[in-house]
Structure 1
């Protein structure tokens, strides 16, 4: 591993920040591996996505499994997405999301709470209810503990990745609990449509991808609202949408969009983080400005793109809108947002757990 790739692996965000003045919008990490963020290159890459391979993440595949829909290709990938797509339509679950958000807000203490941890618990409850059909707090807590042991610190994540490569990070007891709950779900969300040998990987992938990035995006939106107190998107849906989009631009829930590989072994990694902060694309790229005009193709892709774009995008946006509006309506929010260095949790770029929220009742 050369020095450039080492910096990319060990200090991702500082490394990306050091590249922001590279006008070419691409940099070579090593032989046959490139990091890209120029919008023309990104747009072309996504147009030809069906012709490319999508190698598993060395960080996440030991957790989610090699049969996760995130790594499948070709007709198999298309078939799985068709199975999952109807489950992930936001309007299908609006009443459920409303109920769970209202309950979580009502349970907020007057003492400070970690905003990222709170949004993570809430969004995991929502996707757990969608996948399993019931609330199972014990199961979700076990899933959170398993995930945190592997992703809750960058050092731990890198140690798993580089010191014991090629080994799985499964928990057999947790897997049995997840599979039992999935097979007994009413109505059957996944077990009725997926092969039994793949069910574990798809359940874990849905739980992880269905809450981690949504939680990060929600926390970042509330962070930027706290930093810009003149904004009041509670009653203005267009302003709320623009605020969420600008938060997704400046603080995307994932810094990278997954590897693409050509037939000859060339690996290309799109950088969401750098594409969203490119000075040649965005005026004052580091300024939070919800009034920005529509960006050009390939310049804004917080949920990925091509055939790998997130199938849960609509559900995620529904959750973010609902959580933010409900909090603004029922609580006065104050954050200790002086220092907010992003924390990497696998693919997700979250605010640090130290970002505390004080939520007091509106009179």
Structure 2
């Protein structure tokens, strides 16, 4: 492993910051593997996505399973997308989300609470209800503990990835709980429509992908609103949409957009983080500015692109809007720090757990 790839693996955010100024928008990590973020390259890559393979993540595939929809290709992938995309349309779940958000806000303590942990718990409960059709806090708490042991810090992530590589990191007891809940929930929910042979991998993938990035994006949006004077008081629907979009640009919940492999074995990894901070694309790219003009094609893809774009995109955006709107309607929000250093959970980027929120009732 050369120094470039070592920096990419061990210190991802500092490495990305160190190559941000490269005008050609690409860097070779090792022989036949490239990190790319130039908008023209991204547009071409996503246009031709169906002709490429999508190798599994060395970090996530031992957790989510080799049969996860995230790694499938061809007809299998298309079939799963046809099932999942309509089932994850946000408008189907608006009343459910609103009810769960109101309950979560009402239960907020009077003192400080970790903003990232609050949004993560809420987003997991929402996707848990969608997947299983019922609330099961015991099951979701076990899922959270299992995930945190592997991705809860950069050290844990690296240990999980590098120690005994290639082996699975599943928990037989947790898997049995997940499968039992998926098979017995009444009325039938999303899990009931997944093929039984892949049920474990797809359920774990939906729970993970359906809450981790949504929770991070929600926390980042609240962070940017909190540190922008007067913004909370001016948030009509249009400004909220622009605020969420700018938060997704400057603090994307996923730093990378998976891997692509060409027929001759070339591996290409798109960098969302770098594409969103490219100075040739965005004026003053490190400044939070909801009034920015729309970017050119290939320059903004917080939910990935091509045939691998997130099927839950609309659901995630709806959740962010509903959580932010309800929280600011009921509470005055004050954060413990005007700045924070991002924490990586795999390739996902969230505010650190130490970012505390104090929520006081509006009068």
* Structure 2 length-normalised TM: 0.98
How far is the alpha carbon of 1:234 from its aligned partner?
6.5
Structure 1 residues 26-85: Cα deviation after superposition (integer angstroms, max 9, x where no partner): 000000000000000000000000000000000000000000000000010000011111
> Aligned ranges for residues 223-238 of structure 1 at < 5 Å?
223-232=223-232, 236-238=236-238
Distance, in Å, in 1 between the alignment partners of 2:338 and 2:326 is: 24
The runs of 5 or more residues in structure 2 that have no matched partner are: none
Compared with structure 1, are the counterparts of its residues 189 and 234 closer, same or farther at alpha carbon in structure 2 (3 Å cutoff)?
farther
- The answer for the alignment partner of 1:125 in structure 2 is 125
Distance, in Å, in 1 between the alignment partners of 2:44 and 2:55 is: 19
- The answer for the alignment partner of 2:137 in structure 1 is 137
| Preserved contact between residue 234 and residue 329 of structure 1 (Cα < 8 Å) | no
How big is the alpha-carbon RMSD for the aligned residues of Structure 1 and Structure 2?
Answer: 1.0
How far is the alpha carbon of 1:191 from its aligned partner?
4.5
Compared with structure 1, are the counterparts of its residues 191 and 319 closer, same or farther at alpha carbon in structure 2 (3 Å cutoff)?
closer
Number of residues of Structure 1 aligned to a counterpart in Structure 2:
363
Distance, in Å, in 2 between the alignment partners of 1:312 and 1:298 is: 20
How far is the alpha carbon of 1:193 from its aligned partner?
2.8
| Preserved contact between residue 227 and residue 338 of structure 2 (Cα < 8 Å) | no
| Preserved contact between residue 233 and residue 240 of structure 1 (Cα < 8 Å) | no
- The answer for the alignment partner of 2:30 in structure 1 is 30
Distance, in Å, in 1 between the alignment partners of 2:134 and 2:190 is: 14
SS in structure 2 of the partner of residue 332 of structure 1? strand
Distance, in Å, in 1 between the alignment partners of 2:142 and 2:196 is: 22
| Preserved contact between residue 343 and residue 352 of structure 2 (Cα < 8 Å) | yes
- The answer for the alignment partner of 1:252 in structure 2 is 252
SS in structure 2 of the partner of residue 27 of structure 1? strand
Distance, in Å, in 2 between the alignment partners of 1:21 and 1:353 is: 30
Moved more, 243-252 or 331-340: 331-340
Distance, in Å, in 2 between the alignment partners of 1:231 and 1:202 is: 39
Structure 1 residues 105-147: Cα deviation after superposition (integer angstroms, max 9, x where no partner): 0000011000000000000000000011111000000000000
- The answer for the alignment partner of 2:262 in structure 1 is 262
Compared with structure 1, are the counterparts of its residues 233 and 301 closer, same or farther at alpha carbon in structure 2 (3 Å cutoff)?
farther
The runs of 5 or more residues in structure 1 that have no matched partner are: none
- The answer for the alignment partner of 1:308 in structure 2 is 308
Distance, in Å, in 2 between the alignment partners of 1:110 and 1:229 is: 23
Runs of 4+ that moved beyond 4 A: none
How far is the alpha carbon of 1:263 from its aligned partner?
1.0
Distance, in Å, in 2 between the alignment partners of 1:168 and 1:335 is: 38
- The answer for the alignment partner of 1:241 in structure 2 is 241
How far is the alpha carbon of 1:186 from its aligned partner?
2.6
- The answer for the alignment partner of 2:210 in structure 1 is 210
Compared with structure 1, are the counterparts of its residues 319 and 234 closer, same or farther at alpha carbon in structure 2 (3 Å cutoff)?
farther
Structure 1 residues 277-308: Cα deviation after superposition (integer angstroms, max 9, x where no partner): 00000011000000011100000000000000
- The answer for the alignment partner of 1:149 in structure 2 is 149
> Aligned ranges for residues 174-193 of structure 1 at < 5 Å?
174-193=174-193
Structure 1 residues 174-198: Cα deviation after superposition (integer angstroms, max 9, x where no partner): 0000001001123323444332220
SS in structure 1 of the partner of residue 146 of structure 2? helix
- The answer for the alignment partner of 1:320 in structure 2 is 320
- The answer for the alignment partner of 1:57 in structure 2 is 57
Distance, in Å, in 1 between the alignment partners of 2:322 and 2:192 is: 30
* Structure 1 length-normalised TM: 0.98
Q: Given the alignment of the two structures, is residue 14 of structure 1 paired with residue 3 of structure 2, yes or no?
A: no
SS in structure 2 of the partner of residue 13 of structure 1? helix
